[in-house]
Structure 1
Amino acid sequence: MTKKKTASTNTAPTGTAPARSRLTALLGAAAAVLMSAAVQAQAADPIKIAYNGDISGSPSAESGQIGVLGIGAAVEDINKRGGVLGRPLEFLVRDDLGQPPKAIQNMTDLIDREKVSVVFGPTNSGNALAWKHIANQKRMPVLVSSASSTAITEGPTSGNYLFRVSMVDREQAAALLAYVKKNPEAKAVGFFVETTGYGQAGLKDLEQIAALHGMKPVSIEKFDARDTDMTSQLSKAKAAGADTLVVWAQAAPLGHLVRSMEKLDYFPKVFTTWAASFSGFPEVAGPKLMEWPVFLTTSSERKSAEADSLFARIGPKLANPSMFWAASQAYDTVLLWAAAAEQAGDTKGEAVRAALESLNKPVAGMVKTYDKPFSTTQHEGLTAADYHWSRWKDGKVVDFNDPVLAGLQPADFKK
C-alpha cells in the first residue's frame, strides 16, 4: 500500500517570526523617517535674539539706533553662513524709551513670552541696573553693547550672565587719568562733572583712581545737565590754577562747557569720555570749539577692509557717521555670542555663559580680535588699553596721537 506524500510549503503563516521581523523593520524605517523630519524641522526653527534698549526716548538713543543697525548686519552675515548650529537667527527689537519700568517690562516679555536665547543692549546704564537681576535669575545671557556703568557687569562669579563689549566708566577714568599723570604739561587738574547719576558715578571713579596715582584735583566743579552757562564753575577752576580738566558729562552740556570757556577766554586742556562723539556735542559747541576736547572711543578711524565693508552697508543710514563705533561694538557682541553657542553646541543660557567664559578660539571682530576676552571673574571684552583716543577735526572724528600717549604702558592704567 502506497502512502500519499504530504505537500509542504516554505511560506510561514501570518504571525510567525519572519513576518514579525519584516513588520518591525518597516515600522523602524518609518519611525526613522519621522524622526529625521522632526530633527530637520527643529533645525529650521529660527533662534530668537533681541535688542532691549533706548532707540527713541533720550539723547543716548542715538547709540541705540546705530547699535541696532550693527546687530542687524551681524545677523544678516551669520545667516548667510548658515546661521548658528544650523538654524537661522531672528532679530527682535524692543524700544525701552529710556525708561527703567519699560525696560523691565521688555526684558520679562522677551524672556518669558518670546523665549529669546540672548539679549543685547541696553543704551542707558540705569535701565541695565534695573533689570540685571532678572537676567541673572532667569539665566539669560546679556551682551551689553553701549551702556557703560561700571556696576553693570559686577556680580557673583557664579551666575553672572551679563557680559559687555563697550566702554566702561572706570576704564575710561583709568585711561584719562593715566594720560594726565604722564603729561608733564598737566600740573594742576580739575574735575568737572554733571549732578546726574552718570556724573556722580564718574566722579567716584575719578577720585578713587586719582588717589591711586597720588593725584589731588585742585578743583571739583559740578553742574546741572540742563545748564547752558558754566562760567561760574570755570572761574573757580581758573582761580585754582587748573590747566587741565577731566570732564564727565553728556554731549550737550559738554558743548555748553566749551562755549562757556570761550566767554572767559580760558582754555585749559580738556579730556573727556565718548560722550563727545555724540551729535549733541558738535551741535552745541559749533565747528571751531568742537575740536578742543580729546576724548575716548572704541574706534575712530576705520582700519580694516571688514570695517570699510560694514560702513558701506550701514553708513548711509547714520545721521552721525562718526558714531560708527556703536555699530562696530554691537556687531561684535553678536559674533561673540554666536561663537559661544557653537562651542557649547547649545543655546541654553548656562551653556552659553560657560562657553563665553572659556572661548577656545579667537573671534575676529570689528573693534579687535577677541582672544579669551572673558573669564569667570572678568566679563569686560574691552579695557582701557583697547580704547582709541580721538578728537573732532573738520567735522569728523579722527585719531589723536602725541608722545605722551605713545609712551603709556599697561602699568599706567591704574584702576
Structure 2
Amino acid sequence: MKAQRYLCSLVLAAPIVLGVPTSVLAQQESCIGNSAAITGPAAFGGQAIKMGAEIAIDEINAKGGVLGKPLRFVQYDDAGAPPRGVDNTRRIALADKCVVILGGYHSTVSVAQVEPVHALGIPFVGVLAANTQAIENGRSPNYMFRVSAKDKWVARFLVEQAAKVSKTGKIAFFYENTGWGNGALPDVKDAVAKAGKQLVATETFNWNDQDMTPQAIRARDAGADVALFWALDREGNQILRSMDKVGYKPTIIGAWGIAGNLGELAGPLANGVEVVQTYSFMGDLDPKGQALWQKIQAKYGLKDPAQIKMGSGVANAYDAVFIVAKAIEKAGAYDWKKVREGLYGVSHDGLVAKYAPAFDVSDPERQDAILPRDYKLTVWFDGKLLPIAQTPYGKAN
C-alpha cells in the first residue's frame, strides 16, 4: 500500500512539475544541489559528498568561479528515504534553481529520482549510489549521469577477485532486500556464470535484521568458500556475527556498502573483509590526494584519514564538481539542457581517474564516468579500511 501511495504521488505530481513555466525553469542559478543521508546510520555518506563538493567549489571559486559567477553548494537530508529524495529533487530544481543535482548514498533514492529528474529536465550526476538501472534507465534523452561505481561493473570486479581466491569455485551472495540489493542480483548471477563458477547460495535479508544465522548455515552447508556482500555496515556486521556463531569463515568480498564503519561495529570480525572502492585516503597518497587531505584537515578539523568514513564519496564528488564546472563552461550558460549536452565530451584529469572523456554520447554505458580499471580493492585491518596491497592480506591476492 505504501508503494502504491508513493507511485500515485509521483504520477499526481508530474503535471505540476511539467506545468511550471519554461521561463522559470530556464532561470538556473550557479548552485549545485544534493539530496543525501545527513541523518541516520549512513550519515557519513552525506558528509563525504559535502566535503568533496565544497572543497572543489572552493578551488573553482578561488580562480574566479564559472562564467564569472561563484558556485555554491546546497544539500538536503533524505535519510535514505526515496520519497524525501523525490521532494528534495523538486526543491533543488524549483526553489533553489540549481543547475545540477548530485546523487547521494542510497540506490533506492537514486532510482526514485529518475522520474522527477526527467520530468523537470535537470541534469543528475550521481557520486555514490551504484545501482545499474538508476543510470541505465531507458530514457532518451537521459539526464542521469554518474561519477561513481556501477553495480554491473562492480559485480564483475568482485567475481574476478572471488575467482582468484576460491578453491572450490563455489560462491555465496548475501544481498539486502532493497532496490540496490535486488538490482545487483542479476549482475552477480551473470558475472558468476561468465567466470565459470557456481553461485550456490543467494541469501537475502532486510534492513535492521539482527540474526542472519539461517542464511549463514545455508551458505556454509552449500560449500561456498567465498561470500559476496551487497550490504550496508549495520547488516554486514550482523552477517559476520552470525557466520562466526556457526563457525563459517569464508573469504568475504563486498560492494562498498560495508566501507563506512564496519570495522567499528564488528571489531576483529571485520579483519580481512575486502571491499571495492574508487578511492582511499588511507595509506600512501599521491600528491593530489595529499593536497586534498590537507584541505580536508584545514576545513573540517579532521586529524586522521580514518575519520573519513566514505573516502570514495569524497573523491567522486570532488571530481564530479570539476566535470560539471567544465560542462557549464562548455555550455556557455547556466541552463539545464545545455549543461546536459555539455557533459558529453568533457575531459578532466581527476583524483580518481583521467576522464577522457567523462561521458560519451555514443555509448549508453558511458553515462558512467569511472571505469572498472579505476576500481581499487581495500581491506578492513585493525579497524581501518586500507589498500589491500599495504596489508598482510595483499600477499594472498
**Deviation string, structure 1 residues 196-249 (Cα, Å, up to 9, x no partner):** 333222223211222233332122223333233323322222222221111221
Size of the aligned set, in residue pairs, is: 356
Paired with 1:194 and 1:147, the residues of 2 have a C-alpha distance of 14
Partner of 1:284: 265
Please point out which of 76, 84, 87 is paired with 2:66.
Answer: 84
128, 131, 139: which is aligned to 1:146? 128
Distance 1:111 1:364, change over 3 A: same
User: Quick one: which of 296, 304, 315 aligns to 1:314?
Assistant: 296
Match of 1:294 in 2: 274
Which stretch shows the higher mean deviation, 223-232 or 147-156? 223-232
The aligned amino acid for 1:290 is: A
Matching of residues 10-409 of structure 1 within 5 Å: 47-56=30-39, 58-156=40-138, 158-183=140-165, 185-279=167-261, 281-286=262-267, 288-300=268-280, 301=282, 303-315=285-297, 316-317=301-302, 320-359=307-346, 362-376=347-361, 377=364, 378-401=366-389, 402=394
- Superposition TM-score, scaled by structure 2 size: 0.83
Contact preservation (8 Å) 1:64, 1:146: no
Aligned residue identity for 1:52: S
> How big is the alpha-carbon RMSD for the aligned residues of Structure 1 and Structure 2?
2.3
> Secondary structure of the equivalent of 2:198?
coil
| SS state at 2:358 partner | coil
- Counterparts of 2:309 and 2:88, CA distance in 1: 29
Whether contact under 8 Å (2:169, 2:197) holds in the other structure is no
Q: Deviations over 1:370-404 (max 9, x none)?
A: 11121122210112221110002233221124588
Question: Would the alpha carbon gap of residues 191 and 156 (structure 1) be closer, same or farther in structure 2, given more than 3 Å must change?
Answer: closer
Contact 1:179–1:404 (CA<8 Å) still a contact in 2? Answer: no
Task: Give 1:330's aligned amino acid.
Answer: A
> 4+ residue runs of structure 1 moved beyond 6 angstroms?
none
Cα shift at 1:100: 2.3
Kept in 1, the 8 Å contact 2:259–2:385? The answer is yes
Whole-angstrom CA distance in 1 between matches of 2:208 and 2:166: 34
Letter in 2 for 1:293: V
Greater alpha carbon shift after TM alignment, 171-180 vs 218-227: 218-227
How far apart are 1:75 and its partner, in Å? Answer: 0.8
Cα distance in 1 for partners of 2:291, 2:330 equals: 27
Normalising by structure 1, we get a TM-score of 0.80
| 8 Å CA contact 2:157, 2:372 repeated in 1 | yes
Q: CA deviation at 1:88?
A: 1.0
Q: How far did 1:166 drift?
A: 1.2
The answer (yes or no) to whether the contact 2:133–2:183 under 8 Å persists in 1 is no
Contact 2:29–2:99 (CA under 8 A) maintained in structure 1? no
Q: In 1, are the aligned partners of 2:48 and 2:309 still within 8 Å (CA)?
A: no
The corresponding residue for 1:24 is: none
Distance in 2, matches of 1:230 and 1:101, equals 29
Change (3 A) 1:103 1:231: closer
Gaps of 5+ in 2: 1-27
Distance in 2, matches of 1:141 and 1:111, equals: 10
Give the CA deviation at 1:125: 1.6
Aligned-partner Cα distance in 2 for 1:113–1:269: 48
Change (3 A) 1:96 1:190: closer
Hey, what's the Cα distance between the residues in 1 that align with 2:271 and 2:94?
A: 47
Return the offset for 1:264. 2.6
How far, CA to CA, are the matches of 1:232 and 1:72 in structure 2? 44
TM-fit CA distance, 1:284? 2.4
